[in-house]
Structure 1
Amino acid sequence: MLIRVPRSNTLVSRGPVGLPASRMAQAASQFNGVYLRPNSSNAGSVPATGPYSASPDIWLAGTTPIANYQQALATDSSYATSSSNNIYSGQTNLIYVRGKNGATVNKTNTVQLYYAPSGIINAPSQWKNNVIKTDMGQAQGNIINLAPNTIGVCDATFVWTNVTPPPPGSDHYCLFAQFNDANNSNPFPSVDTALDMGSLIMNNLGWGWRNTSMIAATPTWQYTEPLTIPADYPTTNAYSIFIAPTGYVGWDAEFYASRSDSSGNPIKLGRTKVTQDGVLLGVSSAVLEPGYQALMTVNMYSPNGSPPPAGARVPMSVNYVASTPPQLREAIARNLIDTEFMLRLRRYCPEAFDIGPQAWIIQGTYNWETIRR
């Protein structure tokens, strides 16, 4: 018996599809401006060839910041590489954007970053408000006065916080980066047809596209707060940053900053078991210069999925480390020594103490408490 299988009428959109070369192919030219490569093989030529959704200039760093990222990601060796595609659910994901100037004059550009569920990438009007902000809460960063044929890295770190799985109809997220300028020469696109989308992807390298893969890493709960050292402080100093969870025995705790300290070291507490109430967990010395700013993320993980009890809290303290004789004398004279904190610190973090005298001077605290009604 011959069985005929009906042909499906369902069409699935997965982005642009390469077609056989036209007999009247458009001659390639250099993109006249700061550009994002669609893939590592592209050197700024348009129309671009696929793959179109693998821009190495949208750099996914996970939860660990890159020290001196504007220099590190602008080297020739870095430009020849690409980050992983991984995005971590429930976390604060750090993202950097870079470009290269294909024009013959210096260029200054704004940089914006968007996310789009894969099912709606061909309809930019549906994701134009999905803006990923910087760790300073701004909607854009900048690449300033970039010389011709030079690589530039956006001056801001983009932070995609508390990422959730994509909605039904999509199986991953796409990231889109946009370069623009004061004259709005590269506005948000008006895409009405499939040809409009094709033109945006192939001919406008002022836009970059990067597909992502989600890694499950969602904490039980999370909070974020800015960490700022006043710009008018006179010197660069060492600070300690600790959390002291209460009501979370048996849970895991972690925290991290969106930027490295001034010595290039990450400010990070790896995932650590809370063994008793009030235990101090954190970083004993982070060198921070005046004007330092970052976004702090604290994650707490339940061992069995249950919520924390009423009254459970996670205070975070930022402390200035006074270690020179003049600093110590002034701290004592002004009654700034927190003896109770010093005793707890010596108990839980003896490695924080050098041979010489030291004192930790409180600079600020955050405190999150679970309230049950």
Structure 2
Amino acid sequence: MALSQLPNGVYLRSTINAKPETDPQVLAAFSPDIIPMGLTRPDHDALIAAYDEFIAHDIDSTESKTRIYLRGKAVVKDTSGTVETEVTLKAVPNELILWPQAWVNAPVVGHSTLSASKDGEVVATHTPIVYNPTEKLGRHDAFIAQAETVSAAGTPKDLVKQVQNWRDLVKHVGQDPTVTTYNAVFADPRSTEISLTTRFRMFENQANVVRMAFSIEAVGTPSDDIDVSLSCFGVTPDSKHFSFGQSRTTIRPSKLIYINAAVPKNFDGNITLSVFNDKQHTFGDYSSISVGAYAVGVVNGQETYTLLGAEHMVFHSDIRVKKVLKKFARVREAQATNGATDASTYPFYFRESVTDNGQFPRTTAGHSPDIQPLGTLPDANVQTDLGPGNYTVDVSDKRSVGTVVGNVSNYIYLRGTTNAPTSGSVRLFAVPCSLLLYPSQYSQDAYIILDHDTGGDPQTAIRTYNTQSEESPNPILFSEPFNFSDPPPPPPSSDHYCLVAECKPDGVDSDGEPYVWPHEEAGDFATGSEYAAWIYNQPYVCQRNISYARNPNAPSQVFYTTFTIPPGFSSAENWQFELRAINCPPGSYVEMDSSDADIAVANLAIAGPDQVAGCQFTGKAPGFTCQVVIRWYANGTTIQNGQRIEGNLYLTELYTGAMSYELFKRHKIGKRCESTIVRTVRADYPNVDIPGKNVASQKPQPPKIGGAHTRRQLGERYVSPGTIYVNYLVGSDGIGYNLG
């Protein structure tokens, strides 16, 4: 059916790759246009801009409600008026094949009207349908949306009577673009073992058995060490037992495993898909493992496969992020109950800048004024220099004191702020300069700042605080410095050290457990967004990553830094490296290169006081390390007071995600992408089409659904609108001159 043959109306898709006018794929049940969003309230324009993206959230039964948005694309012809399509949404307990017997008479969850005035216009609902999720003992709900547009085929008035076998199902439902289905459940991307159980029925009024194939399809999953199994048990109407299954086997991304079964007519049973991730790899966001049911036929001696239904296990970091956000919110509420001034702060916190007022979540900069290196001798006037009178002064910046000088003692002071009577301990780490200072990296034994006991034996250097002050804010100075003694020169990929401070309050936390050091509690993060949520909400950790121009009269300034993608992260994480030039003289220029060709900026000419240039990258394997060199060239100018060159590492996340709703939309933290993002499809793209790979001579197999990703050809360049993404600063390093 050509697009012009569809009646006027707004049409929803049942998969990201469906075409309502020619291939509606109704029975695939992976709609990107039925959009559960939990408690998140996405902007209306973001739903439209992200039309080429699957952006649904998990349905969390612990949340009071789930907001469900609808969107679609319009067919408008032979009219100058507005086309309106009313859509009815129903929810039913999940079934592998969504027979109309399951949903025709199901209660209505809600109605929405989609309006459009132009052909091809993408529209979305402003007001969501509110759905109240409930626990279902291992089951979940599937959704069916019915549009009141009159389809060319026409939905029968009595659909249950019309559909008595799989051929009727395909004819009356599978080809009807006014019906849209969603049958997906979300899972933790670091799950070691997880199962999906669904009901499976086979209505049949003609044959005694139905030849079928059952597929397991992986899209965007880790490349190795992921196993799956499938089992089915049930009975026929005359109480005969029937079962089939696939024993545990390895599955790889973009692969499809299938088994054949002759299913008795009117069979009713349960199918369970199990996924095993013994080595705890991290699944990328919106990677999926699907189970599909196909009818098998024979045409001209060749087997054919017709999709009858599918169900999808979708992996997403939001599940872990929401746990982090909820935990910090719970902690702040408990702290307020115990004496803090309000529920957005803590009795003790480190600052990220001299203007930091202790409100959380907060921005992060990696340049904390509460870590103060003051040189190779103790400061004889430390109470004056760093005490309350200079609480809003970064003395290290004013003096251009580098973080570390090799082979001598380096004296480093810590400060903090309290809002209520409290006590605790602090400690310090020194790490060869690195942009991404995650806990399991900076807490290695080699980076711990030590003291020596009376016998000369090394021990972790710890300083304590104990205040009865109820003032808010109340500056705290640890007047006994930390001595980073005789450090070796940084490795060749670094030219300075970065410093990380931690605090451990006394007493017990909101769960009634004794406080531990933040790196001990955090452990290894599985996803970038989980780490970002942690660092933006963490009061007990701060960083100082900065070096200073050693020879201001030189024609160029150079600094080195590095970053390592944590071993547990997924290669599907999206990143941006930004080169930023602040207060540099016009006419000078900066450039950046690195050990990876994807991460470079050539000749950024300085014409204003704050300029940036950057590059996006993805596909970097866990443990990937990049060495970065940034150069500023005077080009006949002179270095200026307050000049700073930064290398900033950002995590790029969808604007419609749970973290973006909490940090960006509610607290204005993060930076929305402004320019379009151009990417090239590589072999590791989740739904890649490699020309010539599926040749006609190969044995026919069930067609792939393709998961939650648009199918694209290898080497294809495609554009994503930048407005659907937000960048979150997760690491920063730089070189400055006379910053105070």
TM-score, structure 2 as length reference? 0.24
Answer 1 or 2: higher relative contact order, Cα 8 Å, separation at least 6: 1
TM-score, structure 1 as length reference? 0.45
Structure showing the higher strand proportion among its residues: 2
Structure index of larger Rg = 2
